[in-house]
Chain A
Amino acid sequence: MSLPKKMKDHAAKHAEATEPHPAAAAKQAAQGKLQARERITAILDQDSFHEYDLFVEHKCSDFGMEKKQLPGDGVITGTGTILGHPVAIFAQDFTVAGGSLGLAHARKITKIMDHAIKLGIPLIGINDSGGARIQEGVNSLAGYGEIFYRNTLASGVIPQLSIILGPCAGGAVYSPALTDFVFVVDKISKMFITGPEVIKTVLGEEISMEDLGGARVQAELTGNAHFYAQSEAECFEQVKRLVTYIPWNNRKKADSFNVIPSRSEISLESIIPAESNKPYDVRDVIRAVCDGSDFMEVQALWAANIVVGFARMDGRTVGMIANQPMVLAGVLDVDSSDKAARFIRFCDAFNIPLVTFVDLPGYLPGIDQEHAGVIRHGAKLLYAYSEATVPKITVILRKAYGGGYIAMCSRHLGADFVFAWPCAEIAVMGPEGAANIIFKGEIAAAADPEAFRKEKVKEYTEKFASPYVAAANGHVDAVISPHQTRDFLLHALEISEEKAELRPARKHGVPPF
């Protein structure tokens, strides 16, 4: 073959392998879904995608598979950049054998994962697959296992993002679950271990795929998804934005951006209501202190009684954790503990300092909470905060009672700096409850028990429901005015830049999960 002919032959081979099957492509489009290649192009910087393993073929010869040619074996892999940040990416192609996972398909994924781990660059996976390629039998299961194994090895080494843009069911769904962030799109994403059919057979219960494992369910009810979007385009914007907040790998810090002051028109003094039992949106506090009032919330729809997400302070990424008085009074419970603990561990693994805003009445009382294991789940939060060695700065805004005070990155769990606003109430329990217990006998014996009780509540409030007892004991480093918050945080973060905290050597801890 002459050289020009070889070149022409290559162009033809390339076109054949990359052209989508018209009927399958039309079906994909009819479901409101983009093609796998369009998705990659939409996420990555223009012309930055470099594809590998385009000509990989499966080796299966059972059930007529030897006659089937599957372009790229149903998955596209390569590297590229997002806003200049390098990433490794794979996208399952539903138009090729339903995106089913065979061994060659899996090996393409594990190869790009190995690259990402060695190169120290984030991994983005786009999942759109009918599941295991049944004709390949146990080899297909082997493929899943090899992916899960690498997801685990990569955990805490490189950031891993999973975008669910189609079905992701059965064993396949455990790969996203092992990654750091899961993105879902309304009406397109479907995640479950056993589908509606199986549930109907085994339990006789009927449920639609959407109600069982649709995007809304995963984002609101289960907490499996971290980011929810109405369309694929919106989802890709979320992916790009997130990539700017996180470092390439655990040896680096996230890129620093130009410093934008927070919007000065937001007055912190005006956000918090005068009465301590009135709700407000704690995200307003975060926006008032962070650069450009720009806050990227993670898991916004699930366990909204705690707020977690990324923001920048003087151009550097910070992980924000805050009780949300607007939802369930800002209590800690099973889900909120779980949500915050996971986020803290991500930040700690990737050198992102933690800023915690505290305003909570404590743990949510309830039989359902106790029986759901709030002890075990609540302990995850204590573990995550205590384990974290990144800079930890805490601001107590208002209420910090009991176990909740300890759990929300108190000095005692290793906070580097603890600040409190003058309206902070730091005590074992609320004044009402405390007075009722301490003065139980006296209240009962008093001539006017109600008046006596009120007097004692007032006494307790004045003495203990303030930041000054904690400050007198050194548990709070400084009582600051709300308008000083950004300044104190910026200074604390700046001087913590080189923080190094050594811990006793161990293989790994045994967190309560």
Chain B
Amino acid sequence: MTPAQKPLRQTIALNDTVYETTLTKKYAQRKPYAPKDPSRLTAIIPGLILELRVSPGDQVRSGHDLLVLEAMKMQNHITAHDDVTVKALHVAVGDTVTKGQLLMEFE
């Protein structure tokens, strides 16, 4: 067997026993859990920043529009999940963003 074909032989502990096994590709490449950070707003969908409706320092009520993200032929209104104060903007009008890209931070 060439090294490339060699399966990833690992151990896994389940029900008080350590098992020798191979791992699936998906399991081996999984990302560790990270709790969602409510102070960071990231893009839910790739698209174009059409409008920014807040500036750093603005206090925004829950449900208020933060920005308009054009994607899938739709002007998606991104709203505040909570009462927040805008700390920093990481995008400008006209920017194309990818999914998961940081858009703004709250205090």
Q: Footprint of B on A, CB under 8 Å?
A: 201-203, 205, 207, 211, 276-279, 325-326, 328-331, 361-362, 364, 366, 368, 399, 430
Closest residue of A by beta carbon distance from B72: A329
Q: Considering residues B14, B44, B73, which has the most beta carbons from chain A within 10 angstroms of its beta carbon? A: B73
B2-23 residues at the A interface, CB under 8 angstroms? 12-14
Q: Footprint of A on B, CB under 8 Å?
A: 12-14, 32-33, 35, 44-46, 70-77, 99
CA distance A124 to B107 in the complex (A): 45
Q: A329-B45, A366-B99, A368-B99 given as contacts; is B75 within 8 A of A205 (CB)?
A: no
Interface of A is mostly: loop
CA distance A326 to B14 in the complex (A): 44
- Inter-subunit contact A361/B32 (CB<8 Å): no
- Inter-subunit contact A361/B72 (CB<8 Å): yes
List of B residues within 8 angstroms of A279 by Cβ: 74-77
Q: Considering residues B72, B76, B99, which has the most beta carbons from chain A within 10 angstroms of its beta carbon? A: B72
List of B residues within 8 angstroms of A430 by Cβ: 73
CA distance A329 to B45 in the complex (A): 10
- Inter-subunit contact A329/B74 (CB<8 Å): yes
Q: A361-B74, A366-B46 given as contacts; is B99 within 8 A of A205 (CB)?
A: no
Chain B: minimal CB distance from A471 (Å): 23
Closest residue of A by beta carbon distance from B79: A326
- Inter-subunit contact A276/B72 (CB<8 Å): no
CA distance A207 to B35 in the complex (A): 8
**Can you add 9 more A-B contacts, CB < 8 Å, to A202-B14, A205-B32, A279-B74?**
A201-B13, A202-B12, A202-B13, A211-B35, A277-B73, A328-B45, A329-B71, A361-B73, A366-B99
Partner of A328, one of B13, B14, B70, B76: B76
CA distance A202 to B46 in the complex (A): 35
List of B residues within 8 angstroms of A362 by Cβ: 72
List of B residues within 8 angstroms of A366 by Cβ: 46, 99
- Inter-subunit contact B74/A330 (CB<8 Å): yes
Closest residue of A by beta carbon distance from B74: A329
Q: Top 5 A-B pairs ranked by shortest CB distance?
A: A329-B74, A329-B72, A361-B72, A361-B73, A205-B33
Closest residue of A by beta carbon distance from B13: A202
CA distance A456 to B44 in the complex (A): 32
- Inter-subunit contact A278/B75 (CB<8 Å): yes
List of B residues within 8 angstroms of A276 by Cβ: 73
- Inter-subunit contact B46/A277 (CB<8 Å): no
Chain B: minimal CB distance from A489 (Å): 26
CA distance A399 to B73 in the complex (A): 10
Chain B: minimal CB distance from A465 (Å): 11
CA distance A276 to B99 in the complex (A): 23
CA distance A205 to B31 in the complex (A): 11
Closest residue of A by beta carbon distance from B99: A366
CA distance A279 to B71 in the complex (A): 11
- Inter-subunit contact B72/A331 (CB<8 Å): yes
Chain A: minimal CB distance from B29 (Å): 11
- Inter-subunit contact B13/A277 (CB<8 Å): no
List of B residues within 8 angstroms of A325 by Cβ: 74
Could you list some 7 contacts between A and B, CB below 8 A? A201-B13, A277-B75, A279-B74, A279-B75, A328-B72, A329-B45, A330-B72
CA distance A279 to B78 in the complex (A): 11
Chain B: minimal CB distance from A456 (Å): 17
List of B residues within 8 angstroms of A211 by Cβ: 35
List of A residues within 8 angstroms of B71 by Cβ: 329
Chain A: minimal CB distance from B103 (Å): 16
CA distance A279 to B69 in the complex (A): 11
Q: A202-B12, A207-B33, A366-B99 given as contacts; is B44 within 8 A of A328 (CB)?
A: yes
CA distance A325 to B75 in the complex (A): 9
- Inter-subunit contact A329/B76 (CB<8 Å): yes
CA distance A205 to B30 in the complex (A): 12
List of B residues within 8 angstroms of A331 by Cβ: 72
CA distance A328 to B43 in the complex (A): 11
Closest residue of B by beta carbon distance from A432: B73
List of A residues within 8 angstroms of B72 by Cβ: 328-331, 361-362, 364
Chain B: minimal CB distance from A112 (Å): 32
List of A residues within 8 angstroms of B44 by Cβ: 328
CA distance A359 to B61 in the complex (A): 29
Chain B: minimal CB distance from A417 (Å): 27
Chain B: minimal CB distance from A219 (Å): 15
Closest residue of A by beta carbon distance from B15: A198
Chain A: minimal CB distance from B54 (Å): 19
Q: Considering residues B12, B14, B45, which has the most beta carbons from chain A within 10 angstroms of its beta carbon? A: B45
